[in-house]
């Protein structure tokens, strides 16, 4: 009988901290040994010339989810998870999204019903909270956190999702008390709707005006405000899909001041600009997402943020709406920018784009790449050390990465259910040849090797609650300058 199920030999292993030559032995879905001369295996994979990387964790993707205007994403849990796997991602964290009036328990059940029979890789759910009624805040949310749904996204914009600052404080305080992480979509809704109204009244309806209406100041202001709200109640906060330098600076300043503030950015803010929204005809609709891509100076700032500690997480924010009446043109064939479905696809290209332009061009080292694409998300969202690293005892979620593989991205090579990719024609170097999830070969020879539904839900646990509640009542002691003390 062989010692191991799988043995990966001759590769270069990279984690968030180290790069070293080692074989990797896998048994019963877990990594059981690292080193050389480890023993025999049922399957030996020669990874000579390859990088052996932790499979990616895409901690922000919208799959089989209805938008606030009830448009269903183009990808279900099958196409979404297959697409992720082909790009080296082995864990996805989509959303169980609450629309107002819905029970959180019900939306979690729906998410399980959708994912269980279809996902080919592992998954966990964030919640989206749009309704902070008494039942949600008093019973459902604390109960769900106890059950391991330990992260949730709230919105400061979108008519049907947004919560007020007061509601945000309630959510943050609850998250703090129960050991959960709040994620925020930070854009100032009034600024956006005010600009939108003026633009539309002036006849400025084309897709490019989406980027004008979602002004940078709207994002910067809401990001600073969200940080201050978190600061007020001493809660952790992660600002998702950051697109522009002022918001990035606010996050870095907060971290440098000792606050528990995290940042996420996405490929669209590194590889697209607002000029893409000004393509011919309605083509710009393909690039409408919120926040929108900015300019090349903003791209540079976001790149800097990936290596200077601003951003811990790099996610796709995959929000797939096809360039047809099921998606982008759900409101009709020639909609104003306000009615174009928001979101871009990116699950499959997330890691290859960052590897090629980041590691390949010397902007990031390999360990930073691993941290940003896998390890940090695993730590922040309670999946580590089971996920996000290559270590004895961790799940054997591994991307055997060919750093020399040159590919040109086209919609035809994608495995999602989209009819376009915003990155059409872009050349990248580096792509995974073989992808393993819990020791199972999921992708090899550019072919899917597993059945639908073979992915698993990954349980999480709440972090220890912060026990010092004194910071929650600073105003009771006027002699104590809370803000100055904390900062
Ligand atoms: O435009 C985007 N990002 N659409 C998806 C929903 C969200 O805000 O994350
Ligand atoms: Zn968002
Ligand atoms: Zn999103």
250-261 pLDDT, tens digit each: 999 999 999 999
Domain that holds residue 21: 4-54+387-448
Mean pLDDT for 235-257 is 98
Mean pLDDT for 321-348 is 97
Residue 481 has pLDDT above 90, yes or no: no
User: What is the rounded CA–CA span in Å between residue 451 and residue 459?
Assistant: 22
The pairing of strands 51-54 and 398-408 is antiparallel
Q: Are residues 30 and 127 in the same domain?
A: no
* Contact present, 57 and 87 (Cβ < 8 Å): no
* Contact present, 453 and 374 (Cβ < 8 Å): no
**The ligand 1 atom nearest the CA atom of 319:** 5
Residue 372 has pLDDT above 60, yes or no: yes
**The ligand 1 atom nearest the CA atom of 62:** 5
* Contacts with 435 (C-beta within 8 Å, 6 or more apart), sequence order: 55, 85, 86, 88, 90, 398, 399, 400, 441, 442, 443, 444
Q: Are residues 280 and 217 in the same domain?
A: yes
Q: Are residues 293 and 428 in the same domain?
A: no
In the listed set 360, 380, 400, which residue is the last one of a domain according to the structure? 380
74 Cα–ligand 3 center, Å: 14
Residue 478 has pLDDT above 60, yes or no: no
**The ligand 1 atom nearest the CA atom of 67:** 6
57-114 pLDDT, tens digit each: 999 999 999 999 999 999 999 999 999 999 999 999 999 999 999 999 999 999 999 9
Q: Are residues 61 and 50 in the same domain?
A: no
Cis peptide before 282 (omega within 30 of 0): no
Q: Are residues 217 and 203 in the same domain?
A: yes
Mean pLDDT for 299-323 is 98
Q: CA–CA distance from 116 to each of 89, 113, 137, 344, 376 (Å)?
A: 18, 6, 27, 25, 26
Residue 486 has pLDDT above 50, yes or no: no
Q: Are residues 231 and 159 in the same domain?
A: yes
Q: How confident is the model at residue 439 (pLDDT cuts 50, 70, 90)?
A: very high
Neighbours of ion ligand 3 (CB under 5 A): 317
243 lines ligand 1 (CB under 6 A): no
Query: What's residue 473's pLDDT?
Result: 46
130 lines ligand 1 (CB under 6 A): no
289 lines ligand 1 (CB under 6 A): yes
Nearest in space to 96 (alpha carbons), one of 140, 129, 131: 129
Q: Are residues 272 and 414 in the same domain?
A: no
286 lines ligand 1 (CB under 6 A): no
Query: What's residue 300's pLDDT?
Result: 98
Task: Indicate which CATH number applies to the domain containing 443.
Answer: 2.30.40.10
In the listed set 349, 380, 411, which residue is the last one of a domain according to the structure? 380
Query: What's residue 468's pLDDT?
Result: 53
User: What is the rounded CA–CA span in Å between residue 234 and residue 224?
Assistant: 15
290 lines ligand 1 (CB under 6 A): yes
189 Cα–ligand 1 center, Å: 14
Mean pLDDT for 285-297 is 98
In the listed set 355, 380, 405, which residue is the last one of a domain according to the structure? 380
**Considering the domain boundaries, does residue 433 fall inside one?**
yes
Q: Are residues 47 and 124 in the same domain?
A: no
User: What is the rounded CA–CA span in Å between residue 200 and residue 206?
Assistant: 9
Q: Are residues 394 and 354 in the same domain?
A: no
**The ligand 1 atom nearest the CA atom of 158:** 8
Residue 477 has pLDDT above 70, yes or no: no
User: What is the rounded CA–CA span in Å between residue 157 and residue 187?
Assistant: 6
What is the count of structural domains for the chain? 2
User: What is the rounded CA–CA span in Å between residue 29 and residue 22?
Assistant: 18
Query: What's residue 162's pLDDT?
Result: 98
Q: How confident is the model at residue 487 (pLDDT cuts 50, 70, 90)?
A: very low
Q: Are residues 410 and 442 in the same domain?
A: yes
Mean pLDDT value across the chain = 95
Q: How confident is the model at residue 45 (pLDDT cuts 50, 70, 90)?
A: very high
Mean pLDDT for 426-441 is 98
The residue among 466 and 179 whose pLDDT is bigger is: 179
User: What is the rounded CA–CA span in Å between residue 286 and residue 288?
Assistant: 6
Query: What's residue 170's pLDDT?
Result: 97
Residue 358 has pLDDT above 50, yes or no: yes
Query: What's residue 466's pLDDT?
Result: 63
**Considering the domain boundaries, does residue 111 fall inside one?**
yes
**Considering the domain boundaries, does residue 463 fall inside one?**
no
Task: Indicate which CATH number applies to the domain containing 197.
Answer: 3.20.20.140
Residue 444 has pLDDT above 50, yes or no: yes
Residue closest by Cα to atom 2 of ligand 1: 343
* Contact present, 436 and 442 (Cβ < 8 Å): yes
Alpha carbon 108 to chain centroid, angstroms: 19
479 Cα–ligand 1 center, Å: 43
**Considering the domain boundaries, does residue 248 fall inside one?**
yes
Mean pLDDT for 240-247 is 98
Q: Which residue in the block uniquely carries the two structure tokens 């591994």? A: 398
46-56 pLDDT, tens digit each: 999 999 999 99
Q: How confident is the model at residue 462 (pLDDT cuts 50, 70, 90)?
A: confident
Nearest in space to 87 (alpha carbons), one of 454, 440, 431: 431
């Amino acid at each position: 009988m062989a010692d191991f199920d799988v043995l990966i030999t001759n590769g270069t292993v990279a984690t968030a901290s180290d790069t070293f030559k080692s074989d990797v032995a896998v048994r019963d879905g877990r990594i059981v040994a690292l080193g050389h001369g480890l023993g025999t295996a049922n399957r030996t994979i020669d990874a000579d010339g390859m990088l052996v990387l932790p499979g990616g964790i895409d901690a922000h993707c919208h799959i089989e989810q209805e938008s606030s205007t009830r448009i269903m994403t183009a990808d279900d849990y099958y196409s979404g998870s297959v697409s992720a796997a082909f790009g080296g991602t082995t864990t996805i964290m989509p959303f169980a999204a609450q629309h107002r009036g819905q029970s959180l328990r019900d939306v979690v059940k729906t998410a399980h019903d959708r994912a269980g029979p279809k996902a080919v890789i592992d998954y966990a759910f964030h919640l989206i909270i749009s309704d902070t009624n008494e039942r949600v805040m008093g019973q459902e949310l604390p109960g769900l956190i106890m059950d391991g749904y330990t992260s949730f996204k709230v919105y400061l914009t979108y008519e049907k999702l947004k919560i007020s600052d007061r509601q945000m404080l309630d959510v943050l305080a609850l998250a703090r008390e129960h050991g959960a992480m709040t994620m925020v979509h930070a854009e100032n809704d009034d600024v956006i709707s005010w600009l939108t109204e003026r633009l539309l009244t002036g006849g400025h309806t084309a897709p490019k005006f989406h980027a004008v209406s979602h002004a940078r100041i709207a994002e910067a202001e809401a990001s600073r405000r969200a940080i201050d709200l978190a600061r007020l109640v001493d809660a952790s906060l992660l600002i998702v899909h950051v697109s522009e330098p002022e918001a990035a600076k606010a996050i870095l300043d907060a971290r440098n001041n000792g606050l528990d503030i995290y940042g996420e950015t996405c490929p669209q803010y590194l590889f697209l600009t607002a000029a893409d929204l000004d393509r011919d005809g309605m083509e710009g609709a393909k690039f409408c997402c919120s926040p929108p891509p900015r300019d090349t100076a903003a791209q540079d700032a976001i790149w800097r943020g990936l290596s200077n500690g601003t951003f811990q997480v790099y996610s796709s924010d995959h929000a797939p709406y096809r360039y047809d009446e099921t998606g982008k043109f759900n409101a009709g064939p020639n909609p104003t920018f306000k009615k174009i479905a928001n979101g871009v696809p990116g699950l499959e290209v997330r890691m290859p784009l960052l590897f090629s332009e980041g590691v390949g061009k010397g902007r990031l080292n390999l360990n930073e790449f691993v941290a940003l694409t896998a390890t940090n998300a695993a730590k922040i969202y309670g999946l580590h050390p089971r996920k996000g690293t290559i270590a004895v005892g961790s799940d054997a979620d591994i991307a055997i990465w060919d750093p020399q593989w040159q590919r040109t991205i086209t919609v035809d090579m994608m495995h999602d259910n989209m009819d376009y990719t915003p990155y059409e024609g872009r050349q990248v170097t580096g792509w995974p040849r073989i992808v393993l999830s819990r020791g199972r070969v999921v992708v090899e020879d550019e072919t899917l090797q597993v059945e639908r539904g073979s992915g698993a839900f990954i349980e999480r646990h709440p972090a220890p609650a912060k026990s010092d509640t004194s910071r929650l009542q600073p105003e009771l002691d006027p002699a104590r300058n809370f803000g100055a003390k904390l900062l």
